[in-house]
Structures are given as C-alpha cells and as structure tokens.
C-alpha cells in the first residue's frame, strides 16, 4: 500500500512543517517513507513543493499522475500539481491565493477550470479565514488542512500519531495552538 502526497504552496506557508509532521507520524507507526522538497527561494514568495511518499517506495519523487492526495496551500500552486493528478487523486486546497506581479487574481473557479477535467474529488476549504478568526493567525493553515485531510481519511495515519508528530515538529509554545488547528480542521 503506497500513499503519494504532493504538497504545493508558497514559501512561508508551513510546507516544511507539514513534511516534518508527516515524517514523525510515519516514524511513530513504523511506516517507511521518503520525501523530497524544493525550497530554493522559499522565503521570497517563490513556489515550494514537497513530495511525500509512504509505504514500499523507492523513489522520493512521485511519478506523473500518481498522487493520491494533493494538498494546496495556494490555489495557483495547487493547479501546478496537475501533472501528478489523475481521476483517483483527491485535491485538498486552501481557498487562498498569494498574488505576485504577473498575476493579481487566481480564484477557486480558475483552479476548478484547470483540475476538474482530471479529477472530481476536490475539497476547497477556507483555512486561512477560519484560522484567522479562531486562532488569530493564518500560520496554522497547513495544520488545519492536515486535520481536514485526516477527517476525510486521506492520510494513512492514526490520530494519535499525528498529534504526537505535531508536538514533535512545532516549537513547544505553539503546540497547543497547532493541535487546536488540527482539531478545527478535523471538525471543519
């Protein structure tokens, strides 16, 4: 059983933290995993992505059309994950777009136009808004999505492993808030 997760976003959105959480969850359950990340211009609003593969895998990179789950922290970057998507792929995307000079707007409908010919399994959630409202910060967006993915049975991990992994992966003073974000996502 192999689970391929492609995570796409913009620098500073917590992709590397997500990778860390998934890693610790896998270690906690004794599951083999390989991940690889691109973080070249991460801090400068450049695109960042993580390939995360759990199970009997060899390559750290996901093959074309082979993602089971694509987590998008940005609508445009989620659309860029298309090369890894097929009809079996679930899309979980934060309804949020970080604009840049060449592009001021890219919304939900723009994303759907790109990905719905390939897959119909799409969740678009208002993670940024909810985290800002309930937790006073959008930095919990990625962990909120993790909770949501867990509730939709998109992750091959137990809840206690994910909670353990969150505690291992974020600074201890933020761990309570992150677990809150996870639970918000789970119930979202």
Stretch 10-39: interaction string toward other proteins, x if CB under 8 A: x--------xx--xx-xx----xxxxxxxx
Q: Quick one: tokens of 33?
A: 């995993």
Stretch 139-168: interaction string toward other proteins, x if CB under 8 A: ------------------------------
Q: Which is nearer to other proteins, 30 or 153 (CB)?
A: 30
The nearest distance, CB 89 to other proteins, in angstroms, is 12
The answer to the question of residue 59 lying near other proteins (CB under 8 A) is yes
- End-to-end Cα separation, the chain, in angstroms: 28
Q: What is the DSSP string of 17-71?
A: HHHHHHHHHHHHTT--EEEEEE-TTGGGT-EEEEEEEESS---SSPPTT--SEEE
Asked if residues 77 and 10 have their Cβ atoms less than 8 Å apart, the reply is yes
Residues of the shown chain interacting with other proteins in the complex, contacts defined by CB under 8 A: 10, 19-20, 23-24, 26-27, 32-41, 43-47, 57-65, 76-77, 79-80, 82-83, 100-103, 114, 117-118
């Amino acid at each position: 059983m192999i689970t391929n997760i492609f995570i796409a976003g913009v620098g500073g959105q917590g992709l590397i933290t997500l990778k860390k959480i998934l890693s610790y969850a896998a270690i906690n359950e004794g599951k083999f995993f390989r991940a690889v990340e691109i973080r070249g211009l991460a801090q400068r609003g450049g695109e960042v992505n993580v390939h995360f593969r759990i199970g009997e895998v060899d390559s750290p990179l996901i093959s074309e059309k082979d993602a089971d789950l694509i987590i998008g922290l940005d609508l445009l970057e989620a659309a860029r994950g298309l090369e890894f998507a097929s009809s079996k792929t679930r899309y979980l995307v934060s309804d949020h777009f970080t604009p840049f000079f060449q592009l001021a707007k890219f919304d939900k409908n723009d994303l759907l136009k790109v990905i719905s010919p390939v897959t119909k399994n799409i969740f678009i959630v208002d993670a940024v808004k909810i985290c800002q409202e309930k937790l006073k910060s959008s930095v919990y967006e990625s962990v909120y999505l993790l909770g949501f993915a867990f509730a939709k049975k998109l992750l091959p991990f137990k809840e206690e492993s994910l909670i353990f992994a969150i505690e291992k992966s974020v600074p201890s003073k933020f761990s309570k808030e992150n677990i809150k974000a996870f639970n918000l996502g789970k119930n979202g």
